Amino acid sequence: MFNFGTGTATAEQMVRVGAENILTDEEFIVAEIKRFLASKRRRDMIDGDRYYRGDHDILWAKRTMIGAGGELEEVKNLPNNRIVDNQYKRMVNQKTNYLLGQPVSVQTEDKKYAELLSGVFDKRFQRQIKNVGRDSFNCGLGWLFLYYDEQGQLSFRKLNPFELIPGWSNEEHTLLDYAIRIFEAIVFEGKEEKTVHKIEVYHLGGIHRFVYDTGRLIPDEVSYEPYFIIGEDGYNWERIPLIAFKRDSTEIPLINCVKSLQDGLNRILSTFENHMEEDARNTILVLVNYSGTDLGEFRRNLAEVGVVKVESHSEGKGDVKTLTVEVNAENYKAILEIFKRAIIENAMGFDAKDLRMTGNPNQMNIQSMYSDIDLDANEMETEFQAAFEDLLWFINIHLTNTGQGDFDSTPVDVIFNRDMLMSESEIITNVRNLVGLLPTKFLIGQIPWVDDPEAVYQELLKERGEAQDPYEGTLNEHGGTANEDA
């Protein structure tokens, strides 16, 4: 698509901008960058990321009053607490760990293929995919870039979503035509440290790199690279090696659903503490026959020594009174509970302190509590399954090119092991009742503590010292054997 340095435009660009206003590749990239940097979509992504890190709007809040002319003015001599109760981060961590807290596993009947995939999807990859999942909640989608490291190993790198401009070639946002990444980098000019904006353009022809300076693209020191090099020759993938992991099909950040509620929660907490700190030394005072005319001096004396001098004379007796506003803590508590519950419901999370969990909850109560987060996880898993399908395309090409085998047509299932609370005793009872009715390997896989059903099954065979079902002949609760009951 891109013909850098030629000053020409592709047919796709001509259709996009019109035949009367043809943009060169460089001009098109600059226009895309300017549009993206000023877009609401990027602001929403940044909001999601900064709210997760605890950087909330309340931290810039000011106490105000109605001043001259009815305009609001900042008041600097009143308490101005800025409290952050980061329920949003709690929801993001809860939802991320629910779907991606346990390692993602792959299942295939080809043992060699399974072994090779387990080597690719190692612990480092599991950590990256969890971080990408967190990006999906904070920014609507996360990005994973495939590349070869210095040792020639296929590797993965997480890219910040608010730095990447995808050029989708279809309305469903499933196929990439190009992608532009803009990010800050620190460079040195002599001994002086300087921050510059760098540009990476990903397309089917490789990666072009620029420095973005006052609306211009300047070729970087290494201005072009193919996606990988074999020997002395450079090669490119048939697809752009960027995989989008979406929260859902809308790509809307989670912060859009709860930002106003999170801000309201922060304001209520901050206001409550402000009111609690407004005591007689900084609240409204009524002065009767005050011996002095400078009210600022009166306030300073009161703050420093806690004493004020008044006069009594023929016109009246001196006195100091306060106008106080009663702070009803129960009202604040009720409002805080409403906000926290609303955040959980709008984020489609769950409350571990739910009344359904009191006493001895059964599995039905637990599933009811998890219903919202489970529905949202279903949507996200659908998108992640499609992303893994794209990812496996690159992995299969890698395995073929490195002579490890052709597995392009080998079926493989990606399993997301959700991290849900369970009534373990109830599950184990159900497993025991199904002995003899369902395959042993399947039943072993339903036991909460078992991560590798095949390994446990083989261990059971070894313990019995025979190549038969380890449950064969086991007495059930009725006194007969499982096989007899079956």
Least confident of 7-21, 180-194, 202-216, 376-390: 7-21
Q: What pLDDT is attached to residue 452? A: 73
Mean pLDDT of 112-122: 93
Mean pLDDT of 48-65: 94
Q: What pLDDT is attached to residue 483? A: 44
Mean pLDDT of 47-62: 96
* In the chain, % of residues over pLDDT 70: 76
Burial of 306 (0-12, 13-18, 19+ CB in 10 A): exposed
**Which pLDDT band holds residue 367 (cuts at 50, 70, 90)?**
confident
**Which pLDDT band holds residue 126 (cuts at 50, 70, 90)?**
very high
Confidence check: pLDDT of 29 > 80 = yes
Distance set, CA 486 to CA 187, 480, 482 (Å): 74, 10, 6
Mean pLDDT of 7-11: 41
Confidence check: pLDDT of 172 > 50 = yes
In angstroms, the CA 472 to CA 15 distance is 70
Q: What pLDDT is attached to residue 323? A: 53
**Which pLDDT band holds residue 295 (cuts at 50, 70, 90)?**
low
Q: What pLDDT is attached to residue 229? A: 86
* In the chain, % of residues over pLDDT 90: 51
272 against 361, higher pLDDT? 272
**pTM of structure:** 0.79
Mean pLDDT of 401-430: 81
Q: What pLDDT is attached to residue 199? A: 96
Summarize pLDDT for 88-104 with one digit per residue, the tens.
999 999 999 999 998 89
**Which pLDDT band holds residue 5 (cuts at 50, 70, 90)?**
very low
Mean pLDDT of 319-334: 74
- Is there a contact between 157 and 241 (Cβ–Cβ < 8 Å)? no
- Is there a contact between 223 and 210 (Cβ–Cβ < 8 Å)? yes
139 against 305, higher pLDDT? 139
- In the chain, what are the domain boundaries? 424-486
Summarize pLDDT for 239-263 with one digit per residue, the tens.
999 999 999 999 999 999 999 999 9
pLDDT, the chain, mean: 82
Which residues does 36 contact at the CB level (< 8 Å), separation at least 6? 42, 165, 180, 182
Given the structure tokens 């702070």, which residue do they identify? 327
Q: What pLDDT is attached to residue 386? A: 96
Least confident of 60-74, 123-137, 202-216, 338-352: 60-74
In angstroms, the CA 250 to CA 248 distance is 5
Q: Count Cβ neighbours within 10 Å for each residue of 266-304 and write b for 16 or more, e otherwise.
A: bbbbbbbbbbeebeeeeeebeeeebeeeeeeebeeebee
Confidence check: pLDDT of 480 > 60 = no
**Which pLDDT band holds residue 231 (cuts at 50, 70, 90)?**
confident
Q: What angle do CA 174, 178, 182 make, to 5 degrees?
A: 115
**Which pLDDT band holds residue 78 (cuts at 50, 70, 90)?**
confident
Least confident of 139-143, 174-178, 340-344, 366-370: 366-370
Mean pLDDT of 222-246: 92
Sign of the Cα torsion 342, 49, 244, 1 reads: positive
Q: What pLDDT is attached to residue 476? A: 43
Backbone angles phi, psi at 133, to 5 degrees: -60, -40
Q: What pLDDT is attached to residue 188? A: 84
